[in-house]
């Protein structure tokens, strides 16, 4: 597929004229390219992007990334919630420039969009996290590194230059691993530690289950573990103990087992041939599966964070107003209202509906982000009008990666920010504070 020229910056402080902004710049870039016979790398609408990504993906990759919990009702709820609101544009406002910037817990944002932590990205393209990081950095958009990432977080950080990055943590049953991950996040200059609460166990995911497919058991999505000094030490001890006990390997040699072994071997750090002869790649997968998430995670665990890190702490996966209130009472710096993109509980409340109830409870002051269902710039506008300080973009950028690699990710991000900017221009809003609830009504066509 041919591509247009460089994806223009998403910042509001552009120099190309008083009426410009990321929206008009992106439009101009696409239309200029079009006049020369060039097409964007990714479809500009979400449905087209999703179709193209589906075509570009293997069955197992698509099941993992696009799939959801149970009958998919939470994913539908997420989208339906956006459709139940309508934007009411205001006219003749005279605003020609927009300021999309905001400070979020000390992280400067050029637009109210961050990239959500999405694990096992290599399913959609090799070197996924580094490519995503480069794309994010090209637009100055912060990236929340997934604890289930496919490149070591230090490598991903190095690809971002000065662009802010946050680090997401799944609370392991091994407390030393929690500490080690926090130390690494601090060392790479993370702007916040994002602790995901909603995945103490994996949800019931029929698409993956039907294919018997879990990326982690193939060694995909465990790079933060296999690059961790504490984790690798645990694996070595495990291998040594197995050797000493003379435990027999009772794995049946099937084609599937050989494929799994090759996948684990490829994903493991170090040389392929050496890994092939080593028991470590398999032991790493087994160790990971044993300790990766703590089903007993409680407020007592979370209370220890204040002594364990100086980073701002953000809790991700909050849906109930009581939990939101408790989070802020316990001193966390922010929350992400999220149902994990509908991947955990089937027929859970839409994130957007939860946001409304949570904002009502905690008031205007606390930092509240939203994800799950953000597909377009108009969605970002709606989420902000309902009280989100910023949003996290998830599946759409993964689809960009599947369709056109790093460039695809950059275009997807640029398109969302462009549409947000144009929506602000067309509703008479000059800055993010101007995106208020009175610009929305319950959608009369959906009542
Ligand atoms: C394939 C996939 C992997 C994900 N991995 C993680 C993860 O490792 N950590 C995490 O906190 N959230 C993870 N999430 C959830 C996202 O951070 C985010 O909440 C979700 O993608 C939002 O839903 P949406 O993409 O449908 O908008 C994942 C989501 C997807 C689709």
Nearest CA to ligand 1 atom 1: 65
Nearest CA to ligand 1 atom 6: 118
Q: Distance between CA 376 and CA 398 in Å, rounded?
A: 14
CA of 116 to the centre of ligand 1 (A): 6
For 111-121, the pLDDT digits (tens) are 999 999 999 99
Averaged over 35-44, what is the pLDDT?
A: 98
Identify whether the C-beta of residue 100 lies closer than 8 Å to the C-beta of residue 420.
yes
pTM, two decimals, is: 0.95
Q: How confident is the model at residue 13 (pLDDT cuts 50, 70, 90)?
A: very low
The answer to whether residue 47 scores a pLDDT higher than 50 is yes
Asked if residue 8 has its Cβ within 6 Å of ligand 1, the reply is no
For 416-446, the pLDDT digits (tens) are 999 999 999 999 999 999 999 999 999 999 9
User: Among 49, 117, 156, which residue has the most ligand 1 atoms within 8 Å of its CB, making it the best to mutate?
Assistant: 117
pLDDT, residue 252, reads 72
pLDDT, residue 50, reads 98
Identify whether the C-beta of residue 392 lies closer than 8 Å to the C-beta of residue 371.
yes
Q: How confident is the model at residue 5 (pLDDT cuts 50, 70, 90)?
A: very low
pLDDT, residue 256, reads 84
The answer to whether residue 79 scores a pLDDT higher than 60 is yes
Identify whether the C-beta of residue 349 lies closer than 8 Å to the C-beta of residue 328.
no
pLDDT, residue 4, reads 38
- Render the burial of 332-369: b for 16+ CB within 10 Å, e for the rest: bbbbbbbbbbbbbbbebbbbbbbbbebbeebeeebbbb
pLDDT, residue 214, reads 97
Strands 85-87 and 440-442: antiparallel
Reduced to 3 states, what is the DSSP secondary structure of residue 236? helix
Nearest CA to ligand 1 atom 26: 341
Identify whether the C-beta of residue 172 lies closer than 8 Å to the C-beta of residue 293.
yes
Asked if residue 147 has its Cβ within 6 Å of ligand 1, the reply is yes
Asked if residue 60 has its Cβ within 6 Å of ligand 1, the reply is no
pLDDT, residue 7, reads 56
Strands 113-115 and 107-109: unpaired
Q: Among residues of the chain, what percentage have pLDDT more than 90? A: 88
User: Among 116, 147, 193, 383, which residue has the most ligand 1 atoms within 8 Å of its CB, making it the best to mutate?
Assistant: 116
Query: Could you tell me which residues come within 8 angstroms of residue 230 by beta carbon, excluding any fewer than 6 positions away?
Result: 174, 176, 177, 179, 180
Asked if residue 193 has its Cβ within 6 Å of ligand 1, the reply is no
147 is a catalytic site residue = no
Asked if residue 196 has its Cβ within 6 Å of ligand 1, the reply is yes
Averaged over 362-389, what is the pLDDT?
A: 99
Nearest CA to ligand 1 atom 4: 118
**CATH classification (class only), 22-206+294-446:** alpha beta
Asked if residue 168 has its Cβ within 6 Å of ligand 1, the reply is yes
Identify whether the C-beta of residue 204 lies closer than 8 Å to the C-beta of residue 119.
no
Q: Among residues of the chain, what percentage have pLDDT more than 70? A: 95
CA distances to 25, 133, 147, 326, 402 from 151, in Å: 32, 10, 10, 34, 17
pLDDT, residue 255, reads 82
What is the domain partition of the chain in residue ranges?
Answer: 22-206+294-446, 223-290
For 220-260, the pLDDT digits (tens) are 999 999 999 999 999 999 999 998 888 766 667 788 888 88
Asked if residue 373 has its Cβ within 6 Å of ligand 1, the reply is yes
CA of 200 to the centre of ligand 1 (A): 14
CA of 146 to the centre of ligand 1 (A): 9
Catalytic residue among 147, 301, 320, 340: 340
User: Among 76, 145, 297, 343, which residue has the most ligand 1 atoms within 8 Å of its CB, making it the best to mutate?
Assistant: 343
For 205-214, the pLDDT digits (tens) are 999 999 999 9
The answer to whether residue 408 scores a pLDDT higher than 80 is yes
pLDDT, residue 176, reads 98
pLDDT, residue 251, reads 64
Asked if residue 316 has its Cβ within 6 Å of ligand 1, the reply is yes
Asked if residue 394 has its Cβ within 6 Å of ligand 1, the reply is yes
The answer to whether residue 1 scores a pLDDT higher than 50 is no
pLDDT, residue 259, reads 85
CA of 135 to the centre of ligand 1 (A): 18
pLDDT, residue 10, reads 40
18-32, 103-117, 152-166: range with lowest mean pLDDT = 18-32
């Amino acid at each position: 597929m041919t591509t247009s020229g460089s994806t223009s910056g998403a910042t509001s402080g552009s120099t190309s004229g008083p009426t410009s902004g990321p929206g008009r710049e992106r439009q101009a870039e696409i239309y200029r390219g079009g006049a020369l016979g060039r097409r964007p790398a990714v479809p500009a609408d979400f449905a087209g992007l999703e179709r193209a990504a589906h075509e570009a993906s293997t069955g197992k990759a698509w099941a993992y990334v696009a799939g959801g919990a149970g009958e998919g009702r939470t994913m539908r709820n997420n989208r339906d919630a956006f459709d139940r609101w309508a934007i009411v544009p205001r006219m003749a406002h005279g605003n020609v420039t927009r300021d999309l910037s905001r400070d979020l817990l000390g992280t400067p944002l050029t637009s109210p969009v961050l990239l959500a932590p999405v694990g096992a990205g290599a399913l959609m393209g090799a070197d996924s996290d580094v490519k995503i990081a480069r794309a994010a950095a090209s637009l100055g958009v912060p990236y929340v590194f997934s604890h289930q990432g496919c490149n070591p977080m230090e490598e991903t950080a190095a690809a971002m230059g000065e662009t802010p990055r946050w680090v997401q943590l799944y609370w392991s049953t091994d407390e030393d691993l929690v500490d080690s991950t926090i130390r690494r996040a601090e060392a790479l200059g993370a702007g916040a530690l994002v602790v995901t609460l909603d995945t103490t166990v994996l949800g019931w995911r029929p698409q993956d289950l039907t294919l018997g497919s879990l990326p982690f058991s193939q060694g995909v999505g465990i790079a933060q573990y296999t690059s961790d000094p504490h984790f690798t030490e645990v694996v070595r001890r495990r291998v040594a103990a197995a050797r000493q006990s003379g435990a027999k390997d009772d794995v049946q040699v099937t084609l599937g087992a050989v494929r799994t072994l090759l996948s684990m071997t490829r994903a493991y750090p170090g040389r392929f041939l050496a890994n092939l002869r080593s028991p470590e790649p398999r032991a790493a997968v087994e160790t990971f599966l044993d300790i990766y998430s703590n089903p007993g995670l409680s407020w007592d665990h979370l209370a220890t964070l204040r002594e364990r890190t100086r980073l701002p702490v953000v809790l991700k996966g909050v849906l109930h107003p009581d939990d939101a209130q408790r989070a802020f009472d316990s001193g966390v710096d922010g929350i992400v209202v999220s149902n994990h993109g509908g991947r955990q509980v089937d027929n859970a409340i839409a994130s957007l509906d939860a946001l409304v109830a949570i904002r009502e409870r905690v008031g205007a002051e606390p930092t509240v982000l939203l994800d799950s269902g953000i597909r377009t710039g108009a969605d970002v506008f709606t989420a902000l009008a309902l009280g989100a300080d910023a949003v996290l973009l998830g599946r759409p950028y993964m689809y960009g990666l599947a369709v056109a690699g790093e460039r695809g990710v950059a275009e997807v991000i640029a398109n969302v920010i462009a549409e947000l900017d144009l929506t602000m221009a067309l509703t008479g809003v000059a800055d993010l504070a101007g995106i208020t609830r009175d610009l929305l009504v319950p959608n009369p066509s959906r009542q």
